[in-house]
Structure 1
Amino acid sequence: MTTPAERTPRILIVDDERSMREFLEIMLLKEGYAVRSAVHGQEALDILAKERFDLVITDIRMKPVGGLEVLKGCKARYPNTVVIIISAYASTETAVAAMKEGAYDYLPKPFKIDEMRTVIRNALQSRGEEPLPADRQGPLYYGCLIGESPPMRRVYELIERVAKTSSNVLITGESGTGKELVAKAIHRQSPRHDRPFVAVNCGGVPESLIESELFGFKRGAFTGAAATHKGLVEAAQGGTLFLDEIGELSPTLQVKLLRLVQEKTVRMIGDTDDIPVDVRIVSATNRDLEAMVIEGAFREDLYYRLNVIQLRLPPLRERREDVPLLAEYFLDKFRKEFQKDIKKISSYAMDILKGYDFPGNVRELENIIERGVALESSSIILPDSLTLASFKRGRQPEAGGFLPSLPPEGLDLNHFLADIEKEILVQALNQARGVKQRAAELLGLTFRSFRYRLLKYGLTSEDEPKEG
């Protein structure tokens, strides 16, 4: 006897466009599903009156009965059947209406084949199942780090190797990439995991205070020193001292830090005795320390003492595969925090996120999702709820236009123009809510020319069905 888990899922396709029906039928049959199709909404309702399906994929604009009526009729008769809405005329209003009526997702045409496969698979798995727990095991969730892309897997491997040693580590990467999370992961994997992890932002403490904060001071050492105060270095005894934004340290502090690294001692302000300390130093910077050494802004001997092992954290644009994972994680975080019933991010909103360069990296993505959850009034995050920067940092519009002045060192014109073209394509997709035909019209391009440009910059794929 066939168990429910072994039964072939049954899918009903509803679309008045013959080419789309046939395309979906062929694709789904190859995937091993049992497929039936209807040429319009009324035929679909007649079929649903007699048969039950696991999944319904329906176009929204059909005559005489549209996709919303199919959705309502299906949900009234079979509440557990999942429904996916597709349309070449995607809009915020129809997407909200569809989600309120219980649609699982709302995809604009043309959609990517792999994306449709994933949405269908997830939709079928969602029937009567609880979502995966947030503390998933494996490389997807590595402590506080999230990502399964090749660059992040290399980061995980290096963390595991580095953590077992006592060598100092320098973490490099752009702002917002999660350097402190990497430092914490190194500490938790190390033999020092049961000892303190002390983080110091070297750029966030005034220069007049950073020395006393790091090394402490004796009572009476200066006006206001009413009691002896232990410094953060001593507080990290036996554990890990994380020095963020290490490139912001003044030359005077660099000398004192070098003494700590070389002698493994600290001297409180106002004291004459050295205090032995056992700390592992993990530092981080978004600046080019090697260039600073050449310029004389950072001590060479300190640089090599801190940079025993270097770990580069990739920017988000170099690991776009992780954007959906991170976005879903932040969505879950903020819907709980704001107590809002937002179930997911729409597929075309996710497409826009995947095509964006994120100059602020993971921190910017977190802020975008937080704002989206705060502003969204429906049960799904739509493109209108996303607030993305129009241009990359350094290319914001100016009074006389968006082109910046030519920098003294010059620039690669082809690369610069390519970056601008890519940003404009993403903006057009955003404004057209993912509908490529409409985006092409916004730019005065034929659909073929627009699609060629998307392929050129990796914003779509060859196996995507053509929009009609």
Structure 2
Amino acid sequence: MTTKQNKNLPILLIEDDQALARLISDELEAEGWSLIIFHQIHPALDWLKLNQPALIVTDLRLPDGNGMQVVEQVVTHWPEEQRPGLIVITAFGSVRQAVQALQAGADDFLTKPLDLEHFLLAVERVVATRKLHDELFQFRKLNRQPSFHQMFGRSEAMRSLFEQIKVIGRAQGPVLINGESGTGKELVAKALHAESDRAASPFLAVNCAGIPQELLESEFFGHAAGSFTGAKKSRKGLLQEANGGSLLLDEIGEMPMALQAKLLRALQDGSIRPVGQDTEEKVDVRIIAATHRDLKQKVVEGSFREDLFYRLETFALSVPPLRDREEDREILAQQFLQQLVVAQGRKIQGFSDKALEIIRHYAFPGNVRELQNVVERAFAFCNEEWIQPQHLPARLMESQAPEQVPVTAETQRHDDDLLAGAVLPTLEQLQKRYINRVLKEVNGNKRRAAALLGIGRRTLYRWLDEESEEAEEIILKDK
């Protein structure tokens, strides 16, 4: 069981009996845990303000306080889903104290002398239970995650897109959707249709690049019987079939110029003439066009009609690429995984923390479609309860290599400055100089700086805060 626990986080031990602290430390380190040890309450409480352990083991009676203070701070200040496990130990245990500790929020209450085998089992059980609490919270959060017409996202870019769809959906004019391949332009078109007063009427979609050029006119406008070889009977076109509803013209930039002229007339007059037919027919269709091309550039090149471009651009929407939606990647990955679990009935619980971290930091040039394919591949290769980094494609792993800043003459000068001075700097001074040097190289971008330093952003912020506090103390002393 221990091998499945997340041991990236340490165990915090607060115990004034130094011999017992060493014994507990040896036992837990043998099981693969790292420990942070304090012999008093207040330094431990200060440490907890900036750090998160997997578990807290605290003695009840300590030189400067009571272990219940730790329980109260954790329960009061930590969200339930992030709360570490809590084990209280004491040499003066009673049933009343045990009940009080458990009611206050402790997960277990053990008495001295400790049975080490029982203690290790308690550690495993409490950590496993807290992990289950976290997984349950994440599962509930995932299920509570609202979708907007099957689109998921809490990023500012997606929230803005959803609001625009609501407004434009109620309008009547054509819509031009711009976005890279794989961003979900068809879902946006369907959402526009669902938000409109045409929602009860047909929604049809066609890829303009997927129809042979000689059949395009017939496909769009229909044809009369005998209008060309093989046309044994009349057939409705897409504009007729979508009458009263919406028609998505995907990859509109690939439409031939001759057909663009006829589409423009249909947009302006609301009438079409099927191939081989002498009379016109009225149609009421909202045209939604989508493209990953730069239509303005195609207008300049002469391969797209300027008048059609401006008619289609009555309302324009841009679908953000996934690289600009970092906070949405986990939501989407979990949704795709849940769909596969339901469809195939396999008992995969979710993604490991490390796998999720890789997904969060990969840019996904293929956008949402690439992410969906990545999850499908990982699901197929996973033979465990949790999807691990090795189940993800190699390109995602390779992208996690630390960013490197090229060494230039200016960079070399800064490197020499790190050791400048008549006396060699201490390691602490050198650390501070190097952090400031990296921040300067990345123009103050703390996220990039943390990546270059190989530390978490939280650690970087803590170092910077400590440095600011020291500077403030010096200023106050000078005054």
Structure 2 length as normaliser, TM-score?
A: 0.64
Give the superposition deviation at 1:328. Answer: 0.5
Q: State the distance in 2 between where 1:237 and 1:167 align.
A: 15
Contact 2:12-2:35 within 8 A present in 1 as well = no
Question: CA RMSD, aligned part only?
Answer: 3.9
Q: 2:344 aligns with which of 329, 338, 359?
A: 338
Change in 2 beyond 3 A, CA 1:389/1:252: farther
Contact preservation (8 Å) 1:245, 1:286: yes
Q: Deviations over 1:442-463 (max 9, x none)?
A: xxxxx989x9888317757531
**Among candidates 183, 196, 201, match of residue 177 of structure 1:** 183
Residue pairs, 1:45-84, within 5 angstroms: 70=120, 74-75=124-125, 82-84=129-131
SS at match of 2:230: coil
Task: Considering Cα pairs closer than 8 Å and 6+ residues apart, tell me whether 1 or 2 has the greater RCO.
Answer: 1
Question: Given the alignment of the two structures, is residue 462 of structure 1 paired with residue 457 of structure 2, yes or no?
Answer: yes
Q: Which runs of 5+ in 1 are unaligned?
A: 1-10, 40-47, 57-64, 85-103, 105-120, 391-422, 430-446
Find the counterpart in structure 2 of residue 356 from structure 1.
Answer: 362
- The equivalences for 1:177-196 within 5 A come to 177-196=183-202
Identity %: 36
Change (3 A) 1:359 1:230: same
1:131 CA drift (Å) = 3.6
Partner of 2:134: 122
Distance 1:71 1:197 in 2: 59
TM-superposition CA deviations, 1:179-225 (whole Å, max 9, x none) = 01011111101111111111111112221222211111111111111
Matches for 1:174-323 after TM superposition, within 5 Å: 174-323=180-329
**Kept in 2: contact 1:54–1:124 (CA 8 A):** no
Which residue identity is paired with 1:192? R
Between Structure 1 and Structure 2, the one with more helix by share is 2
Aligned to 1:426: 400
1:133 offset after TM fit, Å?
7.3
The CA distance in 2 between the partners of 1:355 and 1:148, in whole Å, is 17
Contact 1:201 1:243 in 2 (8 A): yes
Q: Distance in 2 between matches of 1:196 and 1:227?
A: 23
CA contact (8 A) 1:259 1:265 kept: yes
Tell me: CA distance 1:172–1:458, structure 2 relative to 1, closer, same or farther (3 Å): farther
**Does the 8 Å CA contact 1:13/1:38 hold for their aligned counterparts?**
no
Which 5+ residue runs of structure 2 have no aligned equivalent? 1-9, 14-27, 39-43, 53-72, 90-97, 109-115, 404-430, 462-479
After superposition, give the CA deviation of every residue in 1:307-339 in whole Å (9 maximum; x if it has no partner): 111100100011111011101000101122222
Q: Measure, in 2, the Cα distance between the counterparts of 1:276 and 1:269.
A: 15
C-alpha contact 1:54 1:81 (8 A) present in aligned 2 = no
Once the 2 structures are TM-superposed, how far is the Cα of residue 266 of structure 1 from its aligned partner? 1.2
CA distance 1:54–1:123, change in 2 (3 Å): farther
Moved more, 380-389 or 324-333: 380-389
Counterpart of 2:334 (choices 313, 316, 328) is 328
Which structure would you say has the larger Rg? 2
In the alignment, the residues of structure 2 paired with residue 55 and residue 204 of structure 1 have an alpha-carbon distance, to the nearest angstrom, of 61
Task: Tell whether 2:199 aligns with 1:152.
Answer: no
Q: CA-to-partner distance for each residue in 1:2-51, whole Å, 9 max, x for gaps?
A: xxxxxxxxx98576544488587444646346864699xxxxxxxx9xx9
Distance 2:229 2:122 in 1: 75
Task: Give the conservation status (yes or no) of the 8 Å contact 1:245–1:285.
Answer: yes
Question: 1:434 matched to which residue of 2?
Answer: none
Deviations 1:114-142 (A, max 9, x none): xxxxxxx734747xxx74574x47xx411
TM-score normalised to the size of structure 1? 0.65
Residue 455 of structure 1 aligns to which amino acid in structure 2?
R
Cα distance in 2 for partners of 1:365, 1:230 equals: 38
Deviation at 1:427, TM superposition (A): 3.9
Asked if structure 1 preserves the Cα contact closer than 8 Å seen for 2:86 and 2:107, the reply is no
What do the CA deviations read for 1:42-74 (whole angstroms, capped 9, x no partner)? xxxxxx9xx978779xxxxxxxx99xx957974
Q: Does 1:163 align with 2:158?
A: no
Distance 1:167 1:294 in 2: 24
Structure 2: which amino acid aligns with 1:335? V
**Residues in 2 aligned to 1:228 and 1:181: alpha-carbon distance in whole angstroms:** 32
Retained in 2: the 8 A contact 1:155–1:313?
yes
Q: Is the 8 A contact 1:323 1:354 kept in 2?
A: yes
* Corresponding residue pairs, total: 347
Q: Does the 8 A contact of 2:450 with 2:457 survive in 1?
A: no
